[in-house]
Amino acid sequence: MINKSFLWLFTFFVTIVSVQAHAQTVIVDQPLYFGRWVIPDFNSRARVTIRNNGSYTTNTNIYLLDTPTRGEYTLTGAPPNTSYSITTPPIVYLSGPGGDFEFDNIRVRPNSLVTNGIGEDQFRITGRLRSLGGGVSHGDGNYNDSFTIIFNF
């Protein structure tokens, strides 16, 4: 018997924590979205990886129903002309009406983050989302979560 599950895999809006006392805001230009999937075999892992250039890869245990997108964001209200870094968690678990999904290999790009003369900058978030495999079923529905990123100025 083939198990199939129709999933909506959203990923999160980010919560901002700043190390410096400025009123930063992050505008979501394009949400990080792993698409809608069908997983034909719950015994094997299903995987989607979104790359920095916006392309994506999958393994053979997944049927994508729409296109994943990298997260694109604009930082405003930061100190002008300032280098900064962003810290992300190593892994985030997305929960929904079945087993969790793992979001890992989280990357922030570009590598050099610097605000412009009015304290703004654009950055992208990418990563890999995968099922647990091992027979863990994933029911139809939305799987989403949020995570905190830390801006270090």
| Gyration radius (Cα) of the chain, Å | 17
Q: Other CB atoms closer than 10 Å to residue 94's CB: what's the count?
A: 21
Task: Evaluate if pTM is beyond 0.75.
Answer: yes
Q: In the prediction, which pLDDT does 34 show?
A: 94
Q: In the prediction, which pLDDT does 74 show?
A: 97
- Alpha-carbon distance values, 150 to 19, 26, 63, 86, 95 (Å): 7, 12, 34, 5, 23
Q: In the prediction, which pLDDT does 14 show?
A: 46
- What is the spatial distance between Cα 131 and Cα 23, in angstroms, rounded to a whole number? 37
Q: In the prediction, which pLDDT does 152 show?
A: 93
Q: In the prediction, which pLDDT does 146 show?
A: 87
Q: Which residues pair with 11 in a beta bridge?
A: none
pLDDT tens digits in sequence order for the chain, 153 residues long:
334 444 455 444 444 444 455 689 999 999 999 999 999 999 999 999 999 999 999 999 999 999 999 999 999 999 999 999 999 999 999 998 989 999 999 999 999 999 999 999 999 999 999 999 999 999 899 888 888 999 999
Q: In the prediction, which pLDDT does 1 show?
A: 37
Q: In the prediction, which pLDDT does 22 show?
A: 62
Alpha carbon 67 to its chain's center = 14
